[in-house]
Structure 1
Amino acid sequence: MSEYEAITIDHGPEQVGLAFLATAYGIREEVDRQTQSMAGLSLARTKVLQTLAARGALHQAQLADALGQAPRSVTQIVEGLERVGLVARTGDTGDRRRKTVSLTGKGRTTLAMAEQAGTQVLRQLFGSLDPQQMASLKALLARLDTALAR
């Protein structure tokens, strides 16, 4: 095997893609650990609160659709958030099965703490790159995003 073949095999699209996925997973796990530690929220719960903060009160089905998740999964998350006072659910007068979910004051405060924890992790990790590396990474991610959209 020539040196060129070894480089091609070691740095092929599949290997680089798998390395990217592993790194992205590790970053996600670290953000999740920190949001759990600092605010008591998983990323899944944080996403629910972020969606409610951005869009206002939503019916549970609308919330599930906005998150791209199954309604049952979102219902379980919402029930957990309601138990600890981060969201409130109210019934629909026209349809008792339909629930509207809204963010509480405690939910806003907790969300701010979770977002701060996530921001700290991202600043620490991506701050280890110099400005040129950061610009290159941003350009590469944009190119991958474009390829994904095709």
Structure 2
Amino acid sequence: MSQVESTGELLMNAAKGLRRSYARVLAEWDVTLGQGRALRVVSTTPGVRISSVADVLGIAPRSATEVIDGLEARGLVSRAADPHDRRATSVLPTQEGLRVHRLIAEARERATVEYLSRLVPEDHEELRRLLGLLVHDGA
């Protein structure tokens, strides 16, 4: 196995570990990973269309509709007619949705800190710098 492949595997496994941590956090609110991501989009972009949620999440519009349906059933989001296009529907966070989004964001931050706690501060900063290069320059 080449060093690049080894690095890729390490990166994927680290991401999977962090994702498992996030899944445990979201389970406290009976929210799936996909619902958590969608709630973040709706909470930070109130009035977003479902098609835009799908684009941000990289999923099919039908899948985004199902995710939003689940959030709506839980009382975390609501739908409203788009004020600029009556044929379209906007998704808005409810007060409970905003509260849950805030609590999830705080818990995710704690989970991230815990996951990275094995790193000394210098290594953590270096990891952040390197990942920033990959995410922002290698997109």
Give the TM bin, normalised by the shorter chain: 0.7 to 0.9
The alpha-carbon distance between structure 1 residues 16 and 94, as it changes in their structure 2 partners (threshold 3 A), is closer
In the TM superposition, 1:1-150 aligns within 5 A as 12-37=3-28, 39-91=29-81, 94-95=86-87, 98-145=88-135, 148-149=138-139
**Bigger strand fraction:** 2
TM-score of the superposed pair, with normalisation by structure 1:
0.80
Shift of 1:147: 5.9
CA distance in 2 between partners of 1:55 and 1:49 (Å): 10
Q: State the shift of 1:122 in Å.
A: 0.5
TM-score (norm 2): 0.85
Identity rate, percent: 26
Distance 2:3 2:72 in 1: 47
Larger Rg: 1
2:86 corresponds to which letter in structure 1?
G
Q: Would the alpha carbon gap of residues 55 and 105 (structure 1) be closer, same or farther in structure 2, given more than 3 Å must change?
A: same
CA RMSD of superposed structures (Å): 2.0
Give the Å deviation of 1:69: 2.1
Query: 2:10 corresponds to which letter in structure 1?
Result: A
- Hey, what does 1:6 align to over in structure 2? none
Contact 1:35 1:115 in 2 (8 A): no
Judging by fraction of residues, say which structure has more helix: 1
Question: How many residue pairs align between the two structures?
Answer: 137
Instruction: Tell me the CA shift for residue 62 of structure 1.
Output: 2.6
Could you tell me whether the CA contact under 8 Å between 2:43 and 2:97 is conserved in 1? no
Looking at structure 1, the residues matched to 106 and 67 of structure 2 have their Cα atoms a distance apart, in angstroms, of 21
Q: 1:90 to 1:19 in 2, by over 3 A?
A: same
